[in-house]
Amino acid sequence: MSTHEKQPPEPGGTRRTRNVVLLAVAAVVVIGLATAGIWWGVANGSASSPVAAESPSSPAPAPHSSASPTPSAPKPSTAKPAPTATSKPTAQPGAAGAALPQREPIALSTKTTVDKGVTVTMSKLEAVKGEASGPGEVAGPAIRFTLVFANPGAAAYGSQPIVVNAYYGQDNTPALPLSGPGATTLAASIPAHSSASATYVFTVPEDQRGSVTITVDYQAGAPAIAFQGVAPK
């Protein structure tokens, strides 16, 4: 006979009771661990929430400055402008006040040849009070004179190109033409063996009449006749 005697088996009811107890204990342990984890998470969330509040997800906008940015000075352009066409003013023959090529000055009373035998003589040089009636004219002290053109030739002489100007003073300042008193125009043509005259009025200050030049331009490119002398005051 063996020295170890077989223990009698536990009854079935006792074994089931022990298993239930073990399952209950395990459930309690699991519930306890779960409860502890929940409380741990709540505690950590509460502790970390202020930090999250202090660190917003989007960066704060930069403070606005009221100072306007200083504009940078534009760089000077090195490009050269394209040349533009320019025209120099040219003095047209016969334009009032235009300086024209002249012959040697002659006395105011001298008779001289103009062209093709036609002669010109100045007469009736006098001081007048100039009258203004045309555009740009200014009334004032003036001189008035008459030019007589004689045509001894056998054909009529066209006098349309003839233009008369006057200058005064040492600087030969251009005198301005006036419409009166008594100014007349020269006929467009001087008949053969005949003469024609015209009367001219120019503004000349009284203190500038010590040197007066009266020019007669009769043909483009030809030197103008120049009468020069003292005009009456």
62, HSE (Cβ side, Cα atoms, 13 Å): 3
Whether residue 227 is predicted with pLDDT greater than 90 in this model: the reply is yes
Structure tokens at 226: 């120049």
Does the pTM exceed 0.85?
Answer: no
Distance in angstroms (rounded) separating the CA atoms of residues 120 and 151:
9
Whether residue 83 is predicted with pLDDT greater than 70 in this model: the reply is no
Indicate the burial class of 183 (C-beta count within 10 angstroms; 0-12, 13-18, 19 or more).
buried
Give the architecture-level CATH label for domain 106-229.
Sandwich (2.60)
Q: What is the average pLDDT score of the chain? A: 76
48 sits in which H/E element: helix 12-54
Listed by start position, the domains of the chain span: 15-44, 106-229
- Whether the CB-CB separation of 201 and 137 falls below 8 Å is answered with no
Query: Given pLDDT bands bounded at 50, 70 and 90, which one contains residue 101?
Result: confident
Dihedral over alpha carbons 174, 179, 180, 183 (to 10 degrees):
90
Query: Given pLDDT bands bounded at 50, 70 and 90, which one contains residue 180?
Result: very high
Given this model, what pLDDT does residue 102 score?
86
Query: Given pLDDT bands bounded at 50, 70 and 90, which one contains residue 96?
Result: very low
Each residue of 132-176: pLDDT tens digit? 998 999 999 999 999 999 999 999 999 999 999 999 999 999 999
- Whether the CB-CB separation of 98 and 92 falls below 8 Å is answered with yes
- Whether the CB-CB separation of 204 and 165 falls below 8 Å is answered with no
Gyration radius of the chain over CA positions: 62
Given this model, what pLDDT does residue 35 score?
59
Whether residue 196 is predicted with pLDDT greater than 90 in this model: the reply is yes
Each residue of 12-33: pLDDT tens digit? 555 555 665 566 666 665 566 6
Query: Given pLDDT bands bounded at 50, 70 and 90, which one contains residue 65?
Result: very low
Structure tokens at 89: 């003013």
Given this model, what pLDDT does residue 88 score?
34
Q: Which of 78-82, 83-87, 132-136 has the highest mean pLDDT?
A: 132-136
